[in-house]
Chains A and B, each alone.
Chain A
Amino acid sequence: MLLVLLVVVVLNFLMLHLAPGDIADTIAQTMGGADEQDMAELRKQYGLDQPFFIQLFNYVVRVALLDFGHSHFYNLPVFDLIMERFPATLLLVFSAQILSLFVGILLGVYAAQNPNGLSSLFVNMFSLFGYAAPVFWTGILLLIAFSLHIPIFPVSGMRDITIESSNFFVHFFDVLRHLFLPMITLASIFFAYYSRLCRASMLEVLGADFVRTAKAKGLSKKDVLLKHALKNSLSPVITFAGLSFSAVVSGAILVETVYSWPGLGTLAFNSIISRDTPVLLGILIFSTLMVTVGNLLTDLTLKALDPRIKI
């Protein structure tokens, strides 16, 4: 896990190094031009005149000390900027992931009972939709629908600043209300995937020898399905959910942009517009961290589910 983060940091540095132009150029640009001497001064200030490996080493050490550089656009340390936005993205990513898993498994199990029936058709159609519709487009359609036609959920931001209450729950429900649309949008892709996978996995397990054993024991349909089959069919779904974490984070960036959700996604969007590279790189590191933690949780879940798995 630490290794992964280290590699990301090194990769960041390499990309910075290989990309045309450096920080001095960017700063000079935002200042409206600078002469050669100022540029040299700037480069020295940022240590850009030193040998490659020293620069790399310095960069890694700085990141390890949580110094991600300075955002020239916001004029704030990148770390502070990210910490401010991080919780919002975390909330969105994990709530969407959990919701989609829950609904996906429910739908998948239901559809597996009748592999050629309506529910299976529905699951298949739905997963096609989830795969084919770009998430930001789904977001925009929902946003249009909910702002122009059924204005019951807020379509922008994370909380209503006009609420003047010191009650925690008032704020809590306010955030939940704001979360609803981004979460549904993001979850729509993934619960399509999960329900289809769960259906397939369930169908496979229902054909397994031990399910036949369970039936031969005289267990009722419900017990065979929910006790013996379901537990065995969860592993592939959970594994896939773990692999999808980076896709969920990627989706979150687009969804945040659509709904102006104040997380890392909108920050990334703004930093692209303002060419604020240190912020973008900091976000890459933090979102990688988030995915790694997500994968760790997946592994733990799998281990709890299956006694054969050792970590």
Chain B
Amino acid sequence: MLENEEIDEPTIKPVKEIFQTFFKSYSAVTGLFILIGIAVMGFIGPLFYPTDPFDMVWMPFSPPGADGFLLGTDYLGRDILSQIINGARVSIAIGFLAALVSCFIGVGIGSFAGFYGGWVEETLMRITEFFQVLPTLLFAMVIVALFGSSVLSITLAIGAVSWASVARITRSEFLRIKELDFVLASRSSGSNNMALIFRVILPNAAAPIIVQSALLVGAAITFEAGLAFLGLSDPNVISWGQVIGSNRVYILDATYTVTFPGIAIFITVLAISLVGDGLNDALNPKLRSR
């Protein structure tokens, strides 16, 4: 070979290298471990700490550490530690499922808008714009207030109001990538539209979408907590936001009743965003935005 050109830094990297970069970052791996730990706590924890979070087990407002309750009891004398362990399950499940819903809607709308252009794009982006303008929390409040506060309706409500950012990112990635030569080359070698969208463009657009979706999981958890704080939560299950919401009247007398579930949310979302940052760096070393 006569060629002696330098090989340039790739702009989009294959999957294997992404994992390598990700696992080199301490903070990302720490985040991942915390997240796994919390999920394990939520799903297996109750086996080891069987106190029912709805049971009134002791006097109300027993401070942390006293009377054998590590995190104290709430206004009804329920065990806060048990509430946090059991709340993890619901908070994380709602967070992931709602983000999944958003991701589906957002990627669907964004990819079709970006790929087809024209009136398809025009219509879909108008809808997206509308959802961007709608104050999400209020809209979710209305949905939950009107359709009842079950875990399902809360998840769907959160998912239905937070997909706009995914759609925007997906669309702009599609707009960028569909002009690249390899897409034209693939089209001229006989790929049909669906293959182009899902097998050629989407894998190359995945990086920012994955990062955004990871951040949405955290946002959905805080979102659920916010709804619960306003009293819009499923009364049959326990979640972290609900613990804060039901004790909010007593915050000045028993600060720990809101501090601990708050810390739980904080740590979980922090872990998610560390993972998100790690993914961002791994997927896209050039752009470190948001």
Contact = CB atoms under 8 A, between A and B. Distances in A.
- Do A and B touch (CB < 8 Å)? yes
Interface of A: 4, 7-8, 12, 15-16, 18-20, 128-129, 131-137, 140-141, 143-144, 147-148, 193, 196-197, 200-201, 203-204, 236, 240, 243, 245-247, 249-251, 253-254, 257-258, 268-269, 272-273, 275, 277, 280-281, 283-284, 287-288, 291-292, 295
Contacts of A247: 136
Contact of B138 (A7, A197, A275, A283): A283
B125 interface: no
Interface string B100-131: 00000000000000000000000000000110
Q: Which applies to chain A's interface (DSSP): helix, strand, loop or mixed?
A: helix
B132 interface: yes
Contacts of B215: 131
Given A140-B258, A249-B135, A272 B229 contact: no
> How extensive is the interface on chain B, given as a class?
35 or more
Contact of B226 (A136, A147, A281): A136
B16 interface: no
Interface of B: 129-130, 132-139, 141-143, 145-148, 165, 215, 218, 222, 225-226, 229-232, 241, 244, 248, 251-252, 255, 258-259, 262, 265-267, 269-270, 273-274, 277, 287-290
A8 B258 contact: no
B133 A4 contact: yes
Given A147-B252, A257-B229, A250 B258 contact: no
Contacts of A268: 138, 141, 230
> Which 4 A-B pairs give the minimum distances between C-beta atoms?
A250-B137, A19-B146, A137-B262, A132-B270
B289 A201 contact: yes
A241 to B, nearest CB: 13
B145 A277 contact: yes
A197 to B, nearest CB: 6
Given A128-B273, A128-B274, A272-B141, A284 B135 contact: yes
Given A131-B215, A200-B288, A257-B230, 5 more contacts: A132-B218, A132-B222, A133-B269, A134-B269, A268-B230
